[in-house]
Amino acid sequence: MKRAFDVSACALFLLFFWPILLIVITAIRLQSPGPAIFKQVRVGKDGRPFTCYKLRTMYSGTANLPTHEVQASSVTVLGDHLRRFKIDELPQLYNVLSGDMSLVGPRPCLPSQTELVEARRQLGVLAVRPGITGLAQVSGIDMSDANRLAKVDAQYVRSQSFSGDLKLIWATLRGRGVGIDQVVRHST
């Protein structure tokens, strides 16, 4: 049922909102050079890598690091707004349609985030598809605290349900978790 809902909801969303997505893609291309769609390898179900798609919010050439390790100066002006309201995640609807992700689940991390990958492996989190939104996201937890994040992800895996997923989607649409994407705001 979860997979059927994922596919139906993504297809309906794309059917109605593709013009807005096209406008945002054009704005990204006009603001800074480089592709509008950003591709990055992430850790998926069972620890398998997959290519995750996002709208590019940083200048081309920014290091391939977890967000909490990236300098704020790497984020474009438009990118800051796209990240704040999670609009940059929209291309992940393709990842959901292709079966690499779900609408709700633990956020996919980079393979280089070995502490988080191992904590998730030990807690059984990698048994589910990663999601565009999830319990940790709406709870305001970013990826900078690997063990705390893995524990909340495991809590989601143990208690996931269709009605719970609908509540997490609704919380995300209402703005819970908006703005938790933490880039480094000062020099170290």
Least confident residue range of 2-6, 11-15, 128-132: 11-15
Is 178 within the bounds of a domain? no
* pTM score: 0.87
Place 186 in a pLDDT band, splitting at 50, 70 and 90.
Answer: very low
Is 187 within the bounds of a domain? no
Cα–Cα distances (Å) from 78 to 75, 84, 99, 177, in that order, read 8, 10, 29, 19
Is 49 within the bounds of a domain? yes
Is 151 within the bounds of a domain? yes
Task: Count how many domains the chain has.
Answer: 1
Return the structure tokens found at 153: 């992800």
- pLDDT tens readout for residues 22-46: 999 999 999 999 999 999 999 999 9
Is 69 within the bounds of a domain? yes
Is 120 within the bounds of a domain? yes
Q: Domain of residue 139: give its range.
A: 2-173
Is 74 within the bounds of a domain? yes
Planar angle of CA 71, 76, 82, nearest 5 degrees: 105
Is 91 within the bounds of a domain? yes
